[in-house]
Each structure stands twice: as structure tokens, then as C-alpha cells.
Chain A
Amino acid sequence: QIQLVQSGAEVEKPGASVKVSCKASGYTFTSYDISWVRQAPGQGLEWMGWISAYNGNRHYAQKLQDRLIMTTDTSTNTAYMELRSLRSDDTAVYYCARSTTADFYYFMDVWGKGTSVTVSS
């Protein structure tokens, strides 16, 4: 079955970086994009950006683009989200989701279980 398996919880200090992985299985990885969404405790959902697993094209939310790096490794069908210069308000659950801008049917239809990132001194 189609799955996105994310890496485990992280605790980081302010100013550090975190890299979350999202390993895809059950579908052709390079035929889709991966979107990232985060949710701070008790808050709503925030779209962070997406990356094409086909050609690496990406689009980031402007508020994060100075600190955010999305990459993919097609040899392992894994997408990565790295957030730098962490602040306390980056504390959130980070989700990856299969996505595409080409076909609404597959737009954010499958999600990973989420990775908790806590930023605390």
C-alpha cells in the first residue's frame, strides 16, 4: 500500500537545524511531488512548501524560504525537509504529504504520520 514513513521525534536547541525524512513506498516516487505542512501545538495547519521528486523543482512559503531546504533522494525514495536557525515558534508536528500540481486527484491524498520537533533551550 502507499505509505509515507517519517523519521522520529526531534528536540533541538534554538539556533540549531533539524532534518526530517519522509520515505515513500507503494507508488512511483518520481511521478509526484512532496508537500510539507506543519502544525504548532493547539494551532491550525500551515503549508511550508513542496518539492518535485521528478526534477527537484520546489516552491517554499516566503516566510520560511530563508531557513528552509527541501531535497529528495530518488535512490531511496526519500524526501527531506531541513529547517535552520530554529526558534521556539518552530515547535510543531511536521507532516509530509504526496502532492502534485498536475492532477487534483492525487493532491495531498496521502500523508505521513508526522514528526514532532521541539525547540527548547
Chain B
Amino acid sequence: DIQMTQSPSAMSASVGDRVTITCRASQGISNYLAWFQQKPGKVPKRLIYASSNLQSGVPSRFSGSGSGTEFTLTISSLQPEDFATYYCLQHNRYPWTFGQGTKVEIK
């Protein structure tokens, strides 16, 4: 199975901060990677597909990059509504696998 390792697992940040979350795949997955945001008690919401494509309706402060084994999700200026847990998902090889999640908390 392809392991998806996110870092950090948790972080504290302030409104206005630039936040970068990394997802590393244990083998190459091309650009078969999506990012999801999940708030407590809520449904996961797709932010990014195909590594770098922004979901319609998602603010442009979110961006994704990477290919192969290393990927990043960047929030250029953290807003109060962005405090949540973020997951990457690879769908290049079965079983599709999620990262363990990165919880972004208020500093």
C-alpha cells in the first residue's frame, strides 16, 4: 500500500499567517492527489484536485502543488474559518489512501 505521510500532524497558527502542509507519498503517484478540509462534526470538503487545481468556490488563498512523491497545500493568509483538519488522498494505486490529517488550530 502507498503510505501518505502528512506533516505536521498538528499546528498552531494565527490569522493572517501563511500555512504550508506537506504530504509525502511512499512511492510516486503522479498528480493523483486531492486535498480535503474537514471541520468538527462536518462532512469533508474537497479543496484541491489533481494536485494543484482549485475546487470551484474555494477561496484563492488555498493552493496546491507537487507531483510524484511530494505535495503541498498552502494557505496564503489564514482566516478564522480555515481552522480545521486537512487530509490528502492519493488515488493513483489501490487501495486509495488518506494521510493521517493535519489539524490547524488557533494560536
Binding site for B on A (CB under 8 A): 35, 37, 44-47, 59, 61-63, 95, 101, 104-105, 107-109, 111-114
Beyond A44-B98, A107-B91, whether A112 also contacts B43 by CB under 8 A is yes
Across-interface contacts of A46 in B (CB, < 8 A): 98
Per the bound structure, the CA–CA distance linking A45 and B96 in Å amounts to: 11
Per the bound structure, the CA–CA distance linking A63 and B97 in Å amounts to: 13
| B55 touching A114, Cβ below 8 Å | no
Chain B interface size, under 10 / 10 to 19 / 20 to 34 / 35 or more: 20 to 34
| 14 further contact pairs, Cβ within 8 A, besides A45-B89, A114-B43 | A35-B96, A37-B44, A44-B98, A45-B38, A47-B96, A61-B95, A62-B95, A63-B95, A95-B44, A104-B50, A107-B46, A107-B91, A109-B46, A109-B49
Per the bound structure, the CA–CA distance linking A95 and B89 in Å amounts to: 15
Per the bound structure, the CA–CA distance linking A111 and B31 in Å amounts to: 22
Across-interface contacts of A59 in B (CB, < 8 A): 94
3 closest Cβ contacts across the A-B interface?
A: A104-B50, A47-B96, A61-B95
| B44 touching A44, Cβ below 8 Å | no
| A108 touching B98, Cβ below 8 Å | no
Residues 1 to 57 of chain B near chain A (Cβ within 8 Å): 31-32, 34, 36, 38, 43-46, 49-50, 53, 55
Binding site for A on B (CB under 8 A): 31-32, 34, 36, 38, 43-46, 49-50, 53, 55, 87, 89, 91, 94-101
Across-interface contacts of A37 in B (CB, < 8 A): 44
Q: Nearest-CB distance from A26 to chain B (Å)?
A: 15
Beyond A59-B94, A108-B34, whether A47 also contacts B89 by CB under 8 A is yes
| B87 touching A44, Cβ below 8 Å | yes
Q: Which of B55, B91, B96, B101 is A44 in contact with, Cβ under 8 Å?
A: B101
Per the bound structure, the CA–CA distance linking A95 and B98 in Å amounts to: 14
Q: Which of A61, A108, A109, A113 is B89 in contact with, Cβ under 8 Å?
A: A108
Across-interface contacts of B101 in A (CB, < 8 A): 44-45
Per the bound structure, the CA–CA distance linking A114 and B89 in Å amounts to: 18
Per the bound structure, the CA–CA distance linking A109 and B34 in Å amounts to: 10
